[in-house]
Structure 1
Amino acid sequence: MTDAAPADRNRLDDEESPYLRQHADNPVNWQPWDDAALDAARERDVPIFLSVGYSACHWCHVMEDESFEDPDIARKLNENFVPIKVDREERPDLDSIYQSICQMTQGTGGWPLSVFLTPEGEPFFVGTYFPPESKRGMPGFGQLLDDITESWETERDGLEQRAEKWTNAVKGELEETPESAGEAPSETLDAAAQAAVRGADRDHGGWGRGQKFPQAGRVHVLLRAHRRTGRDQYRAVATEALDAMIEGGLYDHVGGGFHRYCTDRDWTVPHFEKMLYDNAEIPRALLAGYQATGDERYREYALETLEFVTRELQHPDGGFFSTLDAQSEGEDGEQEEGAFYVWTPEEVREAVAGTEFDAVDDDTAADLFCDRYGVTEPGNFEGRTVLTVVADSDDLADAYDLDRDTVETVLDEATAAVVEARADRPRPRRDEKILASWNGLMLSAYAEAGLVAGPGAVEPAVDALDFLREHLWNAEEKRLARRYKDGDVSVDGYLEDYAFLARGAFDIYQVTGEVDHLAFALDLARAIEANFWDADAGTLYFTPADGEGLVARPQELTDQSTPSSAGVAADLLLALDQFLPRDGFADVAETVLATHGNEIESDPLRHASLVLAADGYEHGGHELTVAADSLPERWRAAVGEAYLPGRILTRRPPSADELADWLDRLNLDEAPPIWADRDERDGEPTVYACRAFTCSPPRHDIGAALEWFETAD
């Protein structure tokens, strides 16, 4: 096939995205989103059919099996459209634009996202999953293709008018900012917390009355608001959500790690895919919960999750892979959702058979395991059981006439046997692309674990950061790529890539004290200002100024499955302003908060990350400057136990020579304010605590410095 007709064949076998390659054998002549595909649509003067999904998406697989493998549907797509496949994890800009159209016109969205576009990329029909034949009020996909083909031929003017209307609407939704900015919002933290309480499911935990999604940002809002106000209701709603996540089916009680969401109100049956970002954000929320409440379970589940990520999602050279699929091969050889994770009582008995238990026999151990995790003959998912915590150790000890320690020992041994048995099952597919943004979230989780559990916990993240700097960062041009896959680097970074990775690098600096990590965070922050900041509009855009021209240039202000990139960037710039105040980082953050102040105040809970940034701007963070050769271990442990939202932990080297070397590596002429005049005193490690523009005297006792924060707050 010649280059003149690229759309005459399926070109996805040339792509590195695992999702796109999954469709490389479809009879549909799938194209990647590139100039060749867009030019083909204009040359043929036919609509574009855009299908957006991701590799772990269950309904994406269903639509592929039902429709994209169907020869007749493939013929219709190939003859009358230019079909384009997009991995939403590689191209979140495209997904944001067309998902917003779906939300605006249909009132809902999701994946697979199915959009029909003019050759110029303007949308005129949108939906999500379509069955091959009409059912349950959904049009059949084959008939839909016929109808749109006919409308394009006979009613094209109407379709183009709709496309223009929708395009203008999405530009207004995603791109525009107020003509005049007000002031940065104030006291939105308490308003967001109140909204979180009003919307909470107090019976089952979390939010909503149907599907349950992890909402890590809301947990952070509630815990911070509780510290500020002392209102016990805030902490109760936060801990109810955390308890539901660790006790229900969202958590994999055998192998560790969290699934994407639960399909029911009581957190029993999950959608079984495991996303890297969830296994970053939920542990961070759990560690905050541990620091705020002292509940040891939160610490344990967070650390177990990071062990899962290290074991199953880390590249041998450091970076973190993206997802594990919801499906795996079932007993009949077909791909089944959840097959890897669910159990019957007989499968549990077979798994523990032959294990030597000191206090009980095999059958009793199996019964204990089943009673602990609710494994029954009827099951709770298609005749098998998703494991959930339904009985605690004390209840089991009473029921089996055993002491608590014996019950927990037996459960640990039985779980190990179940883990070993599950290892023989066909595993879910793994999407092995490495994304800068999701890796940045992961770095922050490991960094917090390093403070809570010790330096060894952060080592996987240090390896990952080295990997990302080597493969995705162009130090000469100060440019970040988004994706690495098998040596191939692609896609210019978006705001979330720069912001999340910069925050991750800064967080790793806080726990390790390695100044090169701080220098990298500062480089990324400067790049954020250079590439995404629009001073005239007073906002940070999601795409770089010199990026591809699309029908809209989106902003990302609300938290979705990941935090708002604008919120994380604003919070980060406020923190780094302590190191480079004359670079104007705080001015950028303040302007972003002022520009969107009315939006934040009108719906603070949807803007959780911007609310946290606004709170940091209004009240300042908890600053700890340690003047010492290294952070003393007992000081690390004390900081790791303390709940200090918005914490900045920095080490100032005590010697003049080392300080001069650090300033040189940071391209600074003088010590930044957070280090200035904060010397080691009396030859001993010295800590300086500051909060809300007020500082404590220098101290040699970290406990006294942490206590001072209680009075400063």
Structure 2
Amino acid sequence: MSQPTERNRLASEASPYLQQHAENPVNWQPWSDEAFERAREHDVPVFVSIGYSSCHWCHVMAEESFEDESVAAVLNESFVSIKVDREERPDVDSAFMTVSQLVTGGGGWPLSAWCTPEGKPFYVGTYFPPEPRRNQPGFRDLCERIADSWGDPEQREEMKRRAEQWTTSARDELESAPTPDSAGDSNPLGEVHLEDDLLGEAAAAAIRGYDDEYGGFGSGGAKFPMPGRIDLLMRAYARNGRDAALTAATGTLDGMAAGGVYDQIGGGFHRYAVDRRWTVPHFEKMLYDNAELPMVYLDGYRLTGDPSYARVASESLGFADRELRHEDGGFFSTLDARSRFPVGRGKESSGLSGNSDAETEAVEGAFYVWTPDEVDAVLDEPASSLAKERYGIRSGGNFERGTTVPTVSASVAELADERDLPADEIREILTEARVALFEARESRPRPARDEKVLASWNGRAISAFASAGRTLGEPYAEIASDALAFCRERLYDEATGGLARRWLDGDVRGPGYLDDYAFLARGALDVYAATGDPEPLGFALELAESIVAEFHDADDGTIYFTREPEEIASDHTGDDALFARPQEFTDRSTPSSLGVAAETLALLDGFRTDRRFAEVAETVVTTHSDRIRASPLEHVSLVRASERVASGGIEVTIAADGIPDEWQETLGERYLPGALIAPRPPTDEKVGAWLDDLGLDETPPIWAGRDVVDGEPTVYVCEGRTCSPPETDLDSALEWLAARRESE
């Protein structure tokens, strides 16, 4: 019998993850209608493998199994094998991950699924070892057993029944949209009072799960950054003054910043820590982590005044600017966890420069870890001893092969007391030592970089840099503006309003998903707020229009992650095989796109003269109110959207020819969670010019009647749809806001 697929077809794919597998002996196919048609023609199952370019265990499984000729022979003979980059096809990943979580109680990457020729999974898992291990089957043996079972008519029918059951359950989960009559206990939004206790309930749940010894959430196993939880804890503290909420927020910020999950030498966050103490990370560096986390560190600084939080935010954004930014402004996706180093590093080899004559191997974390000898080779005394003590770099290490992941193991005060030296002198020595270690590290073999520019992740980075622009000044806002311009020029079709998913060296793949539209719209809104430039606001409004037109289903009262399949462009193949149209309810490594979309529509509603955006946002949070209330901690972004819809949030309208510098500084220093900053020109004549550019027929509510007073820059502060008098002194307006809160 001929093989269903004669060759590996990944060489023509632009995705770096698919390119990593283009030389495998497995006859990989990209996700496409053709691949599923092949399976139907040859009456064989489909094996779907989902991962991403910087995934450590994806690399391991590839080396152990997908590069093995005997494994490839089984896959090529008995299956159609499909490789999926989860970052390019988050819809496929969401559908299959939901099945995995429902069936096995967990998920992760690589995600492995065996499916019927119609694309319905009947067996799922993540990483499989080459030989049986720890109650896991060996991968080749598993493939052979599945192929044999498919060949038995009775067993095949059972596999098909299972696939139907699983996909029905996943579809129910992903497409869940209660009817408007049943949502919110049949009450209209005004009677649901979503804002009254959701934030407090979510914060209380986060506090219960808080690790009060090391920070973070959960007391065993891996620790993941959860910026959404930190944000809600800070909001809860600002609202009710509960010390436990602030303690959990700052304890988590401190724990991460002192641990190995934070790159102590070069700045920026790794993906997560494998231990409770935040010491040893999985070393890949993702753009989204280095956008989400700086935003909560900036808010931590605004709330507490602790300058260390501003430093961590600045260093993390500095990493993204230095190592993930395209020269024309957009941001690349990831740095790999691994790089190539001489065999035996940490024993007989220093590994600093990676001797080209030595045998090398791909080693996770090799770029970031140190031995005492490596530090001594860079620094003289006393800097060497101080740096080793400061960062816990010692013989034997805390990681593999005797190496150490740097952590903050001794404070400046402790080092100063120990040596009877002024703290400022210790701090100066350590600063110079860190620079020297960073420069030495730059000569090491570097981790590979995935140079996809994703609209969604860039949206989050744009928001982060815009936020930093208010607090840290230039050049952050300019970087945000450049990244937005990059995405608009390369990923957006002005004629159709269509946004593509990704750009990679001139190759564009799309169309975009809800997260692309929602995150980029929010980023554009944040650039307008930071700069006072109306052009990004106009772009945000255009993207919001597309969200409503393309992703909102009025009958279901929700916003889906994808368009209707028949509306998807022809270059988005394989969608007939996708068994569900997902919604993204929960916050994971990135915020819920459904929550961000609803909140962004609510924010942008003030710039419309009808209530279309508000009505969609209200419908979404009402439709899903029971889900949100049942588990607010798992739905942080939807909680935020619900609060914005129900209460109106904080609005700061500034009438001026540009935001005064001292006002920018004040706004950047104040903790105003979720505040919408809405600059406008000082006169009606100039507002009219903006309206023409924005395609508006009349002045929107957030600007209407809010003119300058006595020719001076004037601010109007509102909360809960109640507004201050016009003020020419920003501090006075913010005092009004503080007094209003104290009186409640």
Instruction: Identify whether the pair has TM-score above 0.5, normalized to the shorter chain.
Output: yes
Aligned to 1:181: 183
Aligned to 1:536: 555
Distance 2:544 2:517 in 1: 7
Aligned to 1:706: 734
Aligned to 1:206: 216
Aligned to 2:571: none
Aligned to 2:165: 165
Per-residue CA deviation, residues 65-120 of structure 1 (Å, 9 max, x unaligned), is: 00000001001101100000000000010000101111111111100000001010
| Equivalent residue letter for 1:342 | V
Aligned to 2:720: 692
Distance 1:522 1:704 in 2: 31
Mapping of residues 645-664 of structure 1, within 5 Å: 645-664=673-692
Distance 2:523 2:256 in 1: 24
1:303 aligns with 2:300: no
Residue 363 of structure 1, aligned match among 368, 381, 385: 381
| Equivalent residue letter for 1:304 | E
Aligned to 2:282: 271
Aligned to 1:569: 597
1:464 aligns with 2:483: yes
Aligned to 2:391: 373
1:293 aligns with 2:321: no
1:351 aligns with 2:378: yes
Q: Alpha-carbon deviation of 1:317?
A: 1.0
Per-residue CA deviation, residues 625-667 of structure 1 (Å, 9 max, x unaligned), is: 1110010000000000000011111111113332111001111
Distance 2:130 2:69 in 1: 12
1:520 aligns with 2:553: no
Aligned length: 701
CA contact (8 A) 1:20 1:86 kept: yes
Distance 2:475 2:735 in 1: 27
Q: Alpha-carbon deviation of 1:588?
A: 0.8
Amino-acid identity (%)? 56
Residue 599 of structure 1, aligned match among 627, 646, 651: 627
Aligned to 2:517: 498
1:390 aligns with 2:390: no
Aligned to 1:482: 501
CA contact (8 A) 1:397 1:403 kept: yes
CA contact (8 A) 2:609 2:698 kept: no
* 1:117–1:581 CA distance, 2 compared to 1 (3 A): farther
| Equivalent residue letter for 2:218 | G
| Equivalent residue letter for 1:181 | A
Question: Which runs of no fewer than 5 residues in structure 2 stay unpaired?
Answer: 344-359, 569-574
Q: Alpha-carbon deviation of 1:264?
A: 0.2
Q: Alpha-carbon deviation of 1:581?
A: 4.4
Mapping of residues 98-247 of structure 1, within 5 Å: 98-154=96-152, 155-179=155-179, 180-182=182-184, 183=189, 184=192, 185-186=194-195, 187-209=197-219, 210-247=221-258
Q: Alpha-carbon deviation of 1:566?
A: 0.6
CA contact (8 A) 1:543 1:553 kept: yes
Distance 1:608 1:174 in 2: 18
CA contact (8 A) 1:5 1:40 kept: no
| Equivalent residue letter for 1:518 | L
1:582 aligns with 2:600: no
TM-score (norm 1): 0.97
CA contact (8 A) 1:6 1:36 kept: no
SS in 2 for 1:131: coil
Aligned to 1:667: 695
Distance 2:511 2:697 in 1: 32
Aligned to 2:353: none
Distance 2:80 2:314 in 1: 47
Per-residue CA deviation, residues 367-422 of structure 1 (Å, 9 max, x unaligned), is: 00011111111110021110000111111111112111110110011111101111
| Stretch moving more, 371-380 or 618-627 | 618-627
Aligned to 1:356: none
Distance 1:79 1:460 in 2: 51
Aligned to 1:54: 52
1:258 aligns with 2:266: no
Q: What's the Cα RMSD here?
A: 1.2
SS in 2 for 1:690: strand
Aligned to 1:453: 472
CA contact (8 A) 2:4 2:76 kept: no
Distance 2:663 2:78 in 1: 67
Distance 2:403 2:644 in 1: 47
CA contact (8 A) 1:343 1:385 kept: yes
CA contact (8 A) 1:29 1:78 kept: yes
Distance 2:694 2:5 in 1: 49
| Equivalent residue letter for 1:696 | S
| Equivalent residue letter for 1:242 | L
CA contact (8 A) 2:29 2:83 kept: yes
1:283 aligns with 2:301: no
Distance 1:399 1:412 in 2: 18
